[in-house]
Amino acid sequence: MIRYIVKRILLMIPVLIGVSFIVFTIISLTPGDPGTIILGTDAPLEEIEALNEELGYYDPLPVKYGRWLLSAVTGDFGESYRTGKPVFDEIFARFPNTLKLATIAIILSIIIGVPIGIISAVKQYSPLDYAGTVTALFFASVPQFWLGLMSLLIFAVELKVLPSTGNATWKHYILPTLAMALPCAAKNLRLTRSTMLEVIRTDYVRTARAKGVSRKSIIWKHELPNALMPIITNIGINFGTLLGGTVVIESVFGMQGVGTLTMTSIRQKDIPQVVASIVFLALIYSVMMLIVDIAYAYIDPRVKSKYVKGASR
């Protein structure tokens, strides 16, 4: 298993390098220069050009990226053009808000989607199954930002029962977490229903029924455990996606997280902050995929037998 984990960690390195190169290239080609951002538009042109020269702004793109990459390898990701502070200071200050938002959303999506998916599969073609399927199709098709804007308009502007922006109290998290959780819950529902239906039609489930095993025991001991693997994978992917997807939701609801930090930095062409924020989110997503793969290896004996010594004996 250690060999499997090390292999997956090594695969993360080229992914992060590729992400950083793409982001660095795109943000470097956009209009604007760091000298103007740092000194302001009212600063003398000579001072702006001198600062740009000092920062290496006029160097070729490969040279600039190579210099950034060498510094990043040593742990120095640069300083923000806006604040003059190390880029990860602000990332670490805001990440707890992003993590809290994504964690609440993924837990809520599991609580809503998985049980309803199980019930829909067990009671296939019932009114409850039809209602759950139609609702899941609707929320799976609705973009998060539209759902967030509509909930903001209804509950914050019209009804005035919930706050519209910020993250000071637990009430501020209700609308954004629902906007993020409902589409994910719809995906969990559909996947849980389909995998459960596949397991229900297997021979060992029919054999258990023929032996007189109770319906409850069949569901919890035979059907659900064998349907969990794709569900766990989907939940891990959703959680990683939610961490990156907070960029939109945090902007809609004005929450102070990594998402709004990234958007602000992009608008002001704060290259070190943009690259560091996106690479950080890519790292978090890669770590989540690693955790899912490890969990998958422990659950699925076919994967486990390849990496755990003596597991196939």
Residues in the chain predicted with pLDDT less than 50, given as ranges, are 310-313
Provide the pLDDT for residue 2.
Answer: 75
pLDDT by residue (tens digit) across 199-209?
A: 888 888 888 88
Residue 106 contacts residue 114 (beta carbons within 8 Å):
no
- Closest C-alpha among 72, 111, 95, 105 to residue 272: 72
Provide the pLDDT for residue 299.
Answer: 66
Burial 167-199 (b: 16+ CB within 10 A, else e): beeeebbbbbbbbbbbbbbbbbbbbbbebbbeb
Tokens matching residue 167: 């993250």
Provide the pLDDT for residue 107.
Answer: 93
Q: Is the dihedral of CA 290, 137, 142, 253 positive or negative?
A: negative
Residue 20 contacts residue 275 (beta carbons within 8 Å):
yes
The whole-angstrom separation of Cα 26 and Cα 43 is 26
Provide the pLDDT for residue 312.
Answer: 43
Q: For the packed helices 144-151 and 224-253, what is the interaxial angle rounded to 10 degrees? A: 60
pLDDT by residue (tens digit) across 6-56?
A: 887 888 889 889 999 999 898 888 887 888 877 877 888 888 888 888 878
Domains of the chain: 2-73 (no CATH), 96-256 (1.10.3720.10)
Provide the pLDDT for residue 44.
Answer: 85
CA angle 49, 50, 53 (to 5 degrees): 85
CA angle 175, 256, 28 (to 5 degrees): 120
- Closest C-alpha among 39, 144, 82, 11 to residue 277: 82
The whole-angstrom separation of Cα 88 and Cα 100 is 18
Global pTM reads 0.79
* Rg of the chain, C-alpha, whole Å: 24
Provide the pLDDT for residue 305.
Answer: 62
Provide the pLDDT for residue 111.
Answer: 92
Q: Is the dihedral of CA 18, 20, 22, 28 positive or negative?
A: negative
Q: For the packed helices 174-200 and 224-253, what is the interaxial angle rounded to 10 degrees? A: 160
